[in-house]
């Protein structure tokens, strides 16, 4: 009869990869004032475009998601019953910016500052993955000059906030599952749950990324299913709590979605009716770029993960999200995921990051030139042509 020693009890929990011996990495840049300076520098181009747009557009902020958010919060401020309050302020984090920044211009500037904060976090994640400064610069610039990135940051702060929280959560998922950082895993679950509390379109996306995480190269391979539960649990808990609140007040479990079967059916019909529509091409083109590049460089695992993330983003149409919004979300997340998800070798990772960032950036400009929602932002960017009136993303 063999005796199991205390050491053997922990053999299965020895991670294959460690982020650092101490489990903690210093921030980048190391000095706090340098990090905030970097965030300000990265946000400055977005702020300049927002101000130019406010000065040049004949009807700035017309028909944008921010405008609709402000109207919804103002109308719900005097709600007489809890059902109306749940509809107005659900998900709760999504309504908060409209209470703190009560104008379209302030929301747009807030989105620009949020963009600078996120880009610094993305640069820090790429630095920790060992990517060269030039490669990191390519990624940051390709996002900063993307009309889609500016469009969302300046006109739809709830979706953009969910993108930022999801992106930061995805960074921590990689640190948790690939590099055995349990603190990052706890933080990833909270960030993804916060994304779901910011925009309901993030709910199917978070559940998708929990599945995607099982495909990562795991430091603890036996813990794949447990890690997926850890990542998804806060979002599932938030969703169930909001659904139960709707049941308790008698308005139904889907009240927090602020949608109905008709609007969802309309979005799905738009998705399948015209396979060559600009919004659908904004979704398909970057996905195809990633799939083809994955085949060329032989990193099928990471390619599949990015495709699943794009599918999760498009699932937003099931909760009534306009196709253009779901497509823009997929475009940004594919772009961001390229820089975050690890491949089997550093050289392979560097090659795919550069190729996909450049190609997806070009695709974004080409498709955006056909989208009425993005044309005015392109004009503000380039300085050529007259800014058309209107042009939000609804």
pLDDT tens string 272-312: 777 667 777 777 777 788 777 777 766 667 677 777 887 88
Task: Answer whether residue 185 shows pLDDT above 50.
Answer: yes
Q: What is the mean pLDDT of residues 68-74?
A: 84
* Mean pLDDT for the chain overall: 77
Task: Answer whether residue 8 shows pLDDT above 60.
Answer: no
> Tell me, what's the pLDDT at 46?
92
Confidence category of residue 40, pLDDT binned at 50, 70, 90: very high
235 phi and psi angles, rounded to 5 deg: -65, -45
Contact present, 308 and 216 (Cβ < 8 Å): no
d(CA 358, CA 361): 5
Confidence category of residue 107, pLDDT binned at 50, 70, 90: very high
Q: Closest by alpha carbon to 314, among 274, 272, 366, 276? A: 272
For 346-373, the pLDDT digits (tens) are 777 787 788 888 888 888 787 777 777 6
Confidence category of residue 37, pLDDT binned at 50, 70, 90: very high
d(CA 388, CA 52): 13
Task: Answer whether residue 28 shows pLDDT above 90.
Answer: no
Task: Answer whether residue 390 shows pLDDT above 50.
Answer: no
d(CA 300, CA 291): 8
> Tell me, what's the pLDDT at 176?
78
3-class DSSP assignment, residue 62: coil
CB atoms within 10 A of CB 69: 19
Q: Going by C-beta distance under 8 Å and a sequence separation of 6 or more, which residues neighbour residue 170?
A: 188, 209, 336, 337, 340, 341
316 phi and psi angles, rounded to 5 deg: -60, -20
Q: What is the mean pLDDT of residues 339-352?
A: 73
């Amino acid at each position: 009869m063999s005796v199991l020693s205390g050491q053997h009890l922990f053999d299965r929990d020895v991670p294959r990869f460690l982020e650092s011996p101490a489990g903690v990495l210093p921030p980048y840049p190391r000095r706090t004032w340098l990090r905030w300076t970097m965030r300000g520098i990265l946000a400055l181009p977005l702020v300049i475009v927002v101000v130019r747009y406010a000065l040049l557009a004949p009807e700035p902020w017309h028909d944008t998601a921010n405008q609709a958010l402000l109207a919804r919060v103002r109308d719900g401020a005097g709600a007489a019953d809890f059902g109306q309050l749940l509809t107005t302020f659900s998900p709760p984090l999504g309504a908060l910016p409209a209470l703190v920044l009560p104008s379209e211009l302030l929301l747009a500037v807030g989105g620009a500052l949020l963009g600078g904060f996120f880009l610094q976090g993305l640069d820090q994640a790429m630095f920790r993955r060992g990517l060269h400064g030039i490669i990191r610069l390519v990624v940051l610039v390709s996002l900063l000059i993307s009309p889609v990135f500016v469009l969302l940051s300046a006109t739809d702060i709830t979706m953009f906030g969910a993108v930022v929280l999801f992106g930061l959560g995805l960074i921590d998922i990689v640190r948790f599952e690939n590099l055995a950082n349990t603190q990052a895993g706890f933080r990833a679950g909270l960030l993804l749950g916060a994304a779901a509390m910011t925009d309901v379109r993030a709910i199917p996306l978070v559940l998708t990324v929990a599945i995607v995480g099982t495909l990562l190269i795991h430091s603890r391979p036996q813990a794949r299913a447990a890690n997926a539960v850890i990542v998804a649990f806060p979002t599932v808990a938030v969703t169930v709590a909001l659904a139960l609140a709707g049941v308790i007040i008698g308005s139904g479990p889907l009240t927090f979605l602020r949608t109905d079967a008709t609007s969802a059916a309309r979005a799905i019909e738009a998705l399948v009716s015209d396979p060559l529509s600009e919004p659908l091409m904004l979704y398909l083109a970057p996905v195809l770029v990633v799939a083809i590049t994955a085949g060329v460089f032989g990193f099928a695992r990471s390619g599949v993960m990015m495709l699943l993330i794009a599918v999760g983003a498009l699932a937003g149409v099931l909760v009534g999200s306009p196709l253009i919004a779901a497509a823009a979300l997929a475009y940004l997340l594919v772009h961001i995921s390229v820089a975050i998800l690890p491949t089997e070798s550093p050289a392979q990772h560097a090659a795919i990051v550069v190729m996909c960032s450049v190609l997806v950036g070009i695709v974004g400009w080409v498709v955006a030139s056909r989208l009425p929602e993005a044309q005015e932002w392109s004009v503000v960017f380039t300085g050529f042509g007259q800014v058309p009136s209107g042009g939000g993303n609804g």
